[in-house]
Each structure stands twice: as structure tokens, then as C-alpha cells.
Amino acid sequence: MQSRKFRVPQRKTQRRWRVPPALKRGDEVFEGLGLLDEVTGEKGLLLWQSLRDALLWAEAAEGDRASLFAADAERVRMAMLMAAAPAADLEEPLAALARMVGEPNATSEEMVSLACRRVAQWADEQGLLTTALSFAQAAATVTPGDASAAFAVGQLARRRAEYARAETWFRRAIALARQIGDWPTYSRSFLGLGRLYMQRGKLPVARKFLIRSIRAAQRNSLHTLEGKGLHDLFGVAVEADRPEEAQELARAAYAAYGPENAELPRLAQDVAYWWITQGHFSRAVPVLRSVLPHLPHPSDRLMVFGNLARAAGGMNDREAFRDAWDTCHDLLYNSSVDERAAQGLLDLAHGAASLGLWDKAETAAREALDTGVRRNEAKIRLSAEALMDSVRHHRAVETRKRVPASEEGSEVLAGDLVRSLSAYAPS
């Protein structure tokens, strides 16, 4: 099915751009304290010292760097590195930072920033978001004109639910990207702001930023970023209960991505989840199962299995619900799922309530509420409270079966998603 290109409102006024400062600290007593809580022992001490060295070097005037470190500082750092014995992908960037303290004047900003980014990447892959944020921020401090480095800090801060810090870094990234014509980072940064406000439940503001992201992507033929913006705008339409617009945006996002885009599994999952909330369980389940081979990361799999648990509850399939419940609880032990844990738990609670498993439903809803409060996720908190009230009175939350806009259009989209995902599923 062909669909017309989704048109976003055009901006009619010009904006003056200046690069704003960004927040560099959350609630830590001193820089890097969260890192030491997250990584203990000799490795934690090595990471903290390397972070402090990079920040000290970055903040010093170029002519003052020669006198920053003691004469034997490089030898001491290398001894710490040997004692900590990190994995090879962490050892190399930490060794580069150790060499920096020995030759501070012979070290370039690009080298220090790259080393910090590589440590941040390692930490992110390990689910150590505080450590990742600390080193990403160090990289952005070393190269203050790098828009993509500023964007990376905003992304990690948003994932850690440090919304104030995230917003300042996204806005800094937007201004830097505008100055140098880095349109992918410009579009991504507006996308980041949109997602931030979606997490906080402020949909009109989220919609404004997402439209600006889409506009920049369309203007510069950035099709994947256009798809991401349309995808998130679909989420806003769903939350605002505008089903016709939601369906149009889902189809437009699919068209912008194309059938083999790596972002397509996330779109498919989100559309399937929307159908679940509308009571169209049998339409959603095949789409969710076609998504699973594409999502190896624990947090993504938690979301899919949570969706499957909710659908199984709605279909009165106890065996499928039990399998999804067990898989979700195995995944919840992984620290890297924290940013998605509340929603996964909420879906488990819905599935359990649909089956009349009241104890399970209350336990999952309470854990979702606690996580939502901790992460300041307003929508999750309200949803969990409403569900807990229903569960205490042994009432499943009713899911009305609704026709979103075009029943035929939804079935066609479901078929297209399954075919596209099945055609290039990883072996």
C-alpha cells in the first residue's frame, strides 16, 4: 500500500542561535562518585583516576598542561592498569589516558576525546550507565565544539532519567550542530528532546520538538532520522488517543524507514503494542514474534516479552503468559534493563490481571510503581497506581476492542511488517 508523505508544519520565524552551557553534575557530592558506586575495586579506582586526569587536562589552559601531573604519574597509572587487568577493549583507551599524563603537551584533544568515548561505549555495553555518562561528558568537555559528543551526553543522561542535565546537553548539541551544519546531529538532538518530554508525559512539548526533528531530516534527505521522528510522533498520537493520525504516522514511518532498515523492529513492536492496548491481540502476536530475532539486547527483549505476556493474558492463554512471565523475570535481573523495567513490569501486571492472577498482578504493578517513582516517569506512575487500584478490587482493567481507523489498513500494515522482518531475520 502506497501512502502519501506525511507533512509537518513549517516554521515561519527565524531563530537566533547561541551555544548554551550545560549541566555537568547531578546529585553527586563530587565528580565521579557514582562511578565508584557502580564499579568497585581496582578497576573502579582506575576508571575514576582516568576520568579525573582527562577532566583536569581538558579544563587546563594549553600552556599549563605540562605542570599538571607528577613526574612519575604515567608509571603509577600503568601500574594501576596492570593491577586492574581490564578487558582488551577497555585496556587500550585507558592506556592512552595513562600516556596522556606522561606527555600532556604532546597529546591532542582528539586522542583524549576518543579514549573517553571508547570507555563510555564499553561502560554502556556493560550496562554501567553512570560510568558511561561520566566518560561521555569528559569527551564533550575535551572537545567542546563537537555537537555529536554533546548529543551523546544528552542521550545517556536521558536514559538515566537525569532530565534537566539531558535537556541542557541536547540544547547545546542543537546550537553546535546548527553552527557547523551537522544536520544529522541537529535532527537527532531535537529527537532526543522529544523523547525526553515523552518520558515526562508532556506530549504537546514532545510533539513540537519531534516535528522540528522531522523537518530537519526531510530537508536533508535523512530518511532513517525522518522515520525515527515519525515513529515517535506516532507514539505521541497514540498517547493523545488520535487513532487515525497514529495509523497514518505508523505507515509513514514504515515508508521512511524502508523494509530493511535496522529501526524497523522497534517500529513493529510499538505498533503491535498499540494494537494490544486496543484489544487486537491476535494481530499483534505474529508481529511481536517476528521482532524477537532482531532484538538481542536484554532491555529490548524485556519489552517484547512483556507485550507478549499482556497479549497472552488478553487471549486467556495461560501457558503463553507463564512462559513470558518467567522470561521477563530472568531479564529483570540484568542491570541494563533498568530504563525499560517499569513498562515491562506494567505489562506483566496487565496480563496477570486479565487472567485473574491477582497476587502476581499486584506484585508486578507495585514494582512498576516503585521503578516509575524512582525514575520520575509520570505516565508509568499514574498507570501503575490505576492498575493497582483495580487489582485490589479484583477487577481487570478493561481493554476495549476498537477499530483504530481502517481495519483493512491495519491488517495490511501487520502483514507488511511480518514479511519485512521475516525476510532479513538474523540467522
Enclosing H/E stretch for 358: helix 358-374
> Domain for residue 340, yes or no?
yes
266 and 400 in one domain? yes
Q: Which residue has the higher pLDDT, 63 or 349?
A: 349
Range of the domain at 53: 26-143
Return d(Cα 20, Cα 178) in angstroms, integer: 13
Tell me the pLDDT tens digit for each residue of 48-63. Answer: 999 999 999 999 988 8
Which one is predicted more confidently, 77 or 16?
A: 77
pLDDT class for 400, splitting at 50, 70, 90?
A: low
Model pLDDT, residue 25 = 76
16 pLDDT band, cuts 50/70/90, is low
pTM over 0.85: no
Q: How many CB atoms lie within 10 A of CB 87?
A: 10
Q: Please tell me the predicted confidence (pLDDT) of residue 10.
A: 62
- Cell readout for 169 is 546537553
Whether the predicted pLDDT of 164 surpasses 70: yes
* Count of other CB atoms within 10 angstroms of residue 235: 21
Name the residue with cell 515519525: 230
Smallest CA-to-CA distance from 182 within 158, 205, 157, 148 is with 148
State yes or no: pLDDT of 312 exceeds 50: yes
Q: Which of 404, 346, 376 is nearest to 201 (CA)?
A: 376
Considering the domain architecture, whether residues 391 and 252 belong to the same structural domain is answered as: no
More confident of the two residues 421 and 259: 421
Question: How does residue 22 score in pLDDT terms, banded at 50, 70 and 90?
Answer: confident
| Distance from the first to the final alpha carbon of the chain | 28
Q: Alpha carbon of 346 to those of 340, 365, 406, 415: distances in Å?
A: 10, 6, 28, 28
Share of the chain above pLDDT 70, in %: 92
- Per residue in 247-262, pLDDT (tens digit) is 999 999 999 999 889 9
Amino acid at residue number 413: L
Query: What's the average model confidence in pLDDT over 30-36?
Result: 81
pLDDT at 3: 45
Domain finish residue from 143, 163, 182: 143
CA distances from 416 to 16, 255, 420 (A): 43, 11, 6
- Cα–Cα distance between 273 and 281 in angstroms, integer? 9
Higher-pLDDT residue of 199, 366:
366
Residue 326 lies in a domain: yes
Same domain, 273 and 401: yes
Which CATH number fits the domain that encloses residue 353? 1.25.40
> What's the confidence (pLDDT) of residue 409?
83
Are 232 and 311 found together in one domain? no
Q: Are residues 242 and 374 in the same domain?
A: no
CATH number for the domain that contains residue 157: 1.25.40.10
Using an 8 Å Cβ cutoff, are 347 and 306 in contact? Answer: yes
- Asked if the model's pLDDT at residue 93 lies above 80, the reply is yes
Contact 195, 170 (CB under 8 A): no
Quote the pLDDT of residue 11.
59
Q: Is residue 128 part of a domain?
A: yes
**Do residues 234 and 316 share a domain?**
no
- pLDDT exceeds cutoff 60 at 134: yes
The CB-based long-range contact list for 128-133 (8 Å cut-off, 24+ gap) reads 128/38, 128/39, 128/335, 129/156, 129/159, 129/160, 129/338, 129/339, 130/34, 130/35, 130/37, 130/38, 130/160, 131/34, 131/35, 131/38, 131/39, 131/47, 132/156, 133/157, 133/160, 133/162
Q: How many domains does the chain have?
A: 3
Query: Residue 191's pLDDT band (boundaries 50, 70, 90)?
Result: very high
Q: Tell me, what's the pLDDT at 329?
A: 93
